[in-house]
Amino acid sequence: MIEQTIFYILAATAVIATLLAITEKHPVHAILYLVTSLFSMAVIFYLLMAPLVAAFEVILYAGAIMVLFLFVIMMLDLGHPEKGLSPGWREWLPALALSGISIASLAVAVVSRHATAGAYPVALPIREVALRLFREHGLAVELVSLQLLFALVGALYLGRQRTPSPGLRPPSPSGRGTGGEES
Amino acid sequence: MTAFSLDIALFAAKLGMVFFVILTLAAYLVFAERKILAWVQDRKGPNRVGPFGLLQPLADLIKLLTKEDFVPAAADRWLFYLAPAMAAIPAILIFAVIPFGAPLTIAGRQLPLVVADLNVGLLFFLALSSIAVYGVAIGGWASNSKYSLLGGIRGLAQLISYELSMGLSLVPVVMLSRSFSLTDIVAAQASMPFIVYQPLAFIIFLISITAECKRIPFDLPEAEGELVAGFHSEYSGMRFGLFFVGEYINIIVLGGLATTFFLGGWHGPLLPPVIWFSLKTLAFAFFFIWMRGTLPRLRYDQLMHLGWKLLTPLALVNILATGWWLVLTR
């Protein structure tokens, strides 16, 4: 009973915070609403006996990705909400239609499975989750980690310094090279 | 029904005690810091309020509570109000998973001396410490001041960078204890604390938590010499006090975590477990204060180089070496 009440409070928080994150024009406020939404999602995962997923939801999404978003917004000083750029009905319509379809299919699924309610989630020990992940899906885990490595190497390549720190050198008027094309 | 209410009463008593002890300790840590710094610098330190200046924290509290609650013009009012809480609450929540003593037996039932023994305790700590970033960043941003904004951005970058090496330095601990639960980690160190097997991980963790609680030599977010007071320049009264107390709660909690992960938690000879835990935690607090009296502040690029180019690769190599060692010896 208590768990159900907590669930409904969290679910309402998540939905309202997500709506506000979409409609809020101020980027920093929008990020904080999104963090609130992710946080309540994490606690819902905990209620569903998936503490590992809950922890990762907070560490990865609320704690890493959203922090990076916030960092970029603060660095670029996007603190001033832009007026007159809100999307009109033409832009809203496809999004509304798609979300209507997904909500409708969810409603159909809920109504049709109404008779089999009561399938309560079972707590799975972390040891078992880890063993299953690395024994049965080891190849997939390795592939995903390789992909992350590719992204990392790609980011390093794109962000590399082409010239040995040109910012530190005063521009030379004689044209002896402003950069460092010594080769 | 009475058994249930007894459980609730015991739990509430434990919770109240933890809150009281941590908040009092945080206030007295401020006092201890001023005294120890004075001792380092050959001064007397606060000695006017009460015997040996022992009532100084109380006087400071009254002063902070009666000051004007100032909000700068054009500040983001609500976020400005919320930020100190966002910084202090995660710090005190982390203590929920730290076991601070051996289980007690009261009225025929076991009372574990930990608020919540989560089976993902270690991840809970990492999650909350990554949430604590928001207090600093939002506080700096909402003040609508350049100094605060710079402090907030520095805090953000520093905390993300050092979270990585902190998390990686804990992987060997999990490998040795085969559990995320802090109670299990302490139990695994009953015969030998992990610092003996993992001195490198301990050093990386110690440096990273110093950066996480923004202490000298890593106090760039509030560098007095350059940024006035960094992210909390514009705060006054008890809102500033909350940032301040949050920092000291953080010191206690991170010291307790270092004790739990590497120094065997509450295990120790002769003395009762709670005393051992407090002694080890306070030793870390003393170490932080001592370091503040000794070291100069790092430059920003030195801070980033240390985190990304030294600590993180070292932690990764350490994980690999621990894996080899475990495979070869067990």
**Site from B81, B123, B212, B308 to mutate, A interface, most A CB atoms within 10 angstroms:** B123
Q: Collect all residues of chain A within an 8 Å Cβ-Cβ radius of residue B124.
A: 55
Of A55, A74, A79, nearest to B127 by CB-CB distance is A55
Higher pLDDT, A179 or B244: B244
* Inter-helix orientation angle B146-177/B237-262, to 10°: 20
CB contact under 8 Å between A63 and B156, yes or no, is no
Residue A126 structure tokens:
């972390």
**pLDDT value for A85:** 62
Asked whether residue B127 is assigned to any structural domain, the reply reads yes
The stretch A109-124 carries a mean pLDDT of 67
Q: How many domains does chain B have?
A: 1
The stretch B177-194 carries a mean pLDDT of 85
Asked whether residue B299 is assigned to any structural domain, the reply reads yes
Asked whether residue B27 is assigned to any structural domain, the reply reads no
Per-residue pLDDT tens for A14-47?
Answer: 999 999 888 887 888 888 899 999 989 998 888 8
Residue B246 has pLDDT above 60, yes or no: yes
What is the C-alpha separation between B231 and B142, in angstroms, rounded? Answer: 9
Residue A168 has pLDDT above 70, yes or no: no
Residue A77 has pLDDT above 80, yes or no: no
Q: Is residue B226 a contact partner of residue B57, using CB atoms and an 8 Å limit?
A: no
Query: Residue A174: pLDDT band by 50, 70, 90 thresholds?
Result: very low
Asked whether residue B204 is assigned to any structural domain, the reply reads yes
Domain locations along chain A? 1-80, 124-162
Residue A150 has pLDDT above 90, yes or no: yes
The fold for domain A1-80 equals: Four Helix Bundle (Hemerythrin (Met), subunit A) (1.20.120)
Q: Collect all residues of chain B within an 8 Å Cβ-Cβ radius of residue A29.
A: 79
- ipTM for the assembly: 0.81
Q: Is B98 exposed, middle or buried (0-12, 13-18, 19+ CB in 10 A)?
A: buried
Asked whether residue B55 is assigned to any structural domain, the reply reads no
Q: How far is A77 from chain B (nearest CA, A)?
A: 10
Residue A23 CB partners (closer than 8 Å, separation 6+): none
**pLDDT value for A180:** 40
Residue A119 has pLDDT above 80, yes or no: no
- B73-92 residues touching A, CB cutoff 8 A: 76, 79
Closest by CA to B262, choosing from B174, B193, B317, B164, is B193
- Residue A182 is classified by DSSP as -
Residue A183 has pLDDT above 70, yes or no: no
Cβ of B123 under 8 Å from any chain A Cβ?
A: yes
Query: Residue B205: pLDDT band by 50, 70, 90 thresholds?
Result: very high
Residue B168 CB partners (closer than 8 Å, separation 6+): B204, B312, B315, B316, B319
Show the domain range for B239: 73-329
Q: How far is B278 from chain A (nearest CA, A)?
A: 28
Asked whether residue B150 is assigned to any structural domain, the reply reads yes
**pLDDT value for A166:** 52
Calculate what percentage of chain B has a pLDDT beyond 90: 10
What is the C-alpha separation between A107 and B45, in angstroms, rounded? Answer: 68
Average pLDDT, chain A: 79
**pLDDT value for A182:** 38
Query: Residue B73: pLDDT band by 50, 70, 90 thresholds?
Result: confident
Residue B143 has pLDDT above 50, yes or no: yes
Asked whether residue B245 is assigned to any structural domain, the reply reads yes
CB contact under 8 Å between B156 and A32, yes or no, is no
Residue A5 has pLDDT above 90, yes or no: no
Residue B269 CB partners (closer than 8 Å, separation 6+): none
Closest by CA to B253, choosing from B272, B231, B277, is B277
CB contact under 8 Å between A74 and B137, yes or no, is yes
What is the C-alpha separation between B176 and B98, in angstroms, rounded? Answer: 18
Q: Is B252 exposed, middle or buried (0-12, 13-18, 19+ CB in 10 A)?
A: buried
What is the C-alpha separation between B63 and B147, in angstroms, rounded? Answer: 25
The stretch B135-158 carries a mean pLDDT of 84
Strand, helix or coil for residue B267: coil
Cβ of B156 under 8 Å from any chain A Cβ?
A: yes
The stretch B285-311 carries a mean pLDDT of 87
Residue A88 has pLDDT above 60, yes or no: yes
Question: Amino acid identity of A93?
Answer: L
Residue B93 has pLDDT above 60, yes or no: yes
Asked whether residue B152 is assigned to any structural domain, the reply reads yes
Average pLDDT, chain B: 85
Strand, helix or coil for residue B294: helix
Q: Is residue B30 a contact partner of residue B60, using CB atoms and an 8 Å limit?
A: yes
Query: Residue A13: pLDDT band by 50, 70, 90 thresholds?
Result: very high
Residue B157 CB partners (closer than 8 Å, separation 6+): A71, B304
> Phi and psi at residue B104, in whole multiples of 5°?
-95, 155
Per-residue pLDDT tens for B78-89?
Answer: 888 888 888 888
Query: Residue A3: pLDDT band by 50, 70, 90 thresholds?
Result: confident
Residue B151 has pLDDT above 50, yes or no: yes
Residue A177 has pLDDT above 80, yes or no: no
Residue B91 has pLDDT above 90, yes or no: no
